[in-house]
Amino acid sequence: MFKKKIIFCFITLFFFSTFIVSDEIIIISKVNDEIITNIDLEKQIKYLFLINKKFQNLSKSELLILSKESLIKEIIKKKEIDQFINIKKISDLEDKLIKDNYTNLGFNNKFEYLEFLSKEDMQIDSIKRKLVTEQLWNTLIYEKFKGKVKIDENEIKERIRSLYNNRKIQYELNLSEILFNFDTDNYELIEFIKKYGFDSAAIKYSISNTSSAGGKLGWINLNSLDPTIQNNISTLKAGEFTKTFNTPNGKLILMVNSKREIKNKFNFENETKRLIQFEHNKQLNSYSLNYYKKLKQNAIINDY
């Protein structure tokens, strides 16, 4: 309940003290045939605060830019989804996503969640559309690119055998990431991390799907990572981050949130499945990022 009160107070204070809402509807951008207005930006900012209170660390101008970009992404993704997926019969999916959403935000039940949304003048149907769009986008990427995922199972098994034969203490790392464009100034990004924190920097700079969650990746086995990254990250303590790595999709920085020893008995089959799934998801995320970039390049986007 304390968490919800913090979110509510912050949203109220922000809009009354720093955000001037015009009674006039102003067109901000047009994406293909859909417009984005100042009212849409206001609602999107409320939604961004709902999913991550760390957005408070951004300036008003940064927040407006991020809000607009997230709406552009949503419009482009939805248009692509509509071409391939029938979204008329999705009530069960909506219910599941809403439940996951309010549970993750710390609400005890749907009634508390709806009461909070009502106080903040937020519409649950709008949130449903956003959650469904993201879920169906992931489904679309899976169906479109699952045949292109290439995994060398023999290489993975050999890597696991090597780990088993050279058994040492095994670790899991709770990681966050910032995947950013090659033309982003690395020094500027590092200074922003030092001033505002890693998760705020991920929100502002990261082009990964984890951006809105502050770059959080969750728990990852150290041995799942590329050997070059392993060598750099294995000695880091909680709160420290890696140097910048080049990847096919951009530059990457990882931060260690926490670290723990793996005490479960080694199971070759389970380790193989886990590493294959990790590699599978990594490749699909790469396809998702590149596919969206291509769609955005082909979209007609006008600012007013």
Tokens 């670790």, residue? Answer: 171
Structural domain spans, the chain: 2-146, 168-265
Write the CB contacts of 8 (distance below 8 Å, at least 6 apart in sequence).
116, 119, 120
What pLDDT score does 87 carry? 65
pTM for this prediction = 0.80
Tokens 């005490």, residue? Answer: 263
Q: What is the DSSP string of the chain?
A: -HHHHHHHHHHHHHHHHT----SS--EEEEETTEEEEHHHHHHHHHHHHHH-GGGGGS-HHHHHHHHHHHHHHHHHHHHHHHHH---SS-HHHHHHHHHHHHHHTT-SSHHHHHHHHHHTT--HHHHHHHHHHHHHHHHHHHHHHGGG----HHHHHHHHHHHHHT----EEEEEEEEEE-TTS-HHHHHHHHHHH-HHHHHHHH--STTGGGTTEEEEEEGGGS-HHHHHHHTTPPTT-B---EEETTEEEEEEEEEEEE--SPP-HHHHHHHHHHHHHHHHHHHHHHHHHHHHHHHS-EEE-
CATH topology of domain 2-146: Triger factor/SurA peptide-binding fold (1.10.4030)
Alpha carbons 142 and 285: distance in angstroms, whole number = 9
**Which of 244, 241, 229 is closest to 197 using CA atoms?**
241
Alpha carbons 192 and 58: distance in angstroms, whole number = 10
What residue ranges of the chain have pLDDT lower than 70?
A: 1-23, 87-89, 91, 166-168
What pLDDT score does 258 carry? 95
For the stretch 206-233, pLDDT in tens is: 999 888 888 999 998 887 888 888 888 9
What pLDDT score does 174 carry? 94
Two tokens at 161? 């055998």
Length of the chain (residues): 304
CATH classification code of 168-265: 3.10.50.40
Which burial class, exposed, middle or buried, applies to 176 when counting CB atoms under 10 A from its CB (0-12, 13-18, 19+)? buried
**Beta partners for residue 175, in sequence order:** 218, 256
**Which of 249, 244, 248, 209 is closest to 229 using CA atoms?**
244
What pLDDT score does 6 carry? 46
What pLDDT score does 74 carry? 94
What pLDDT score does 156 carry? 87
What pLDDT score does 88 carry? 63
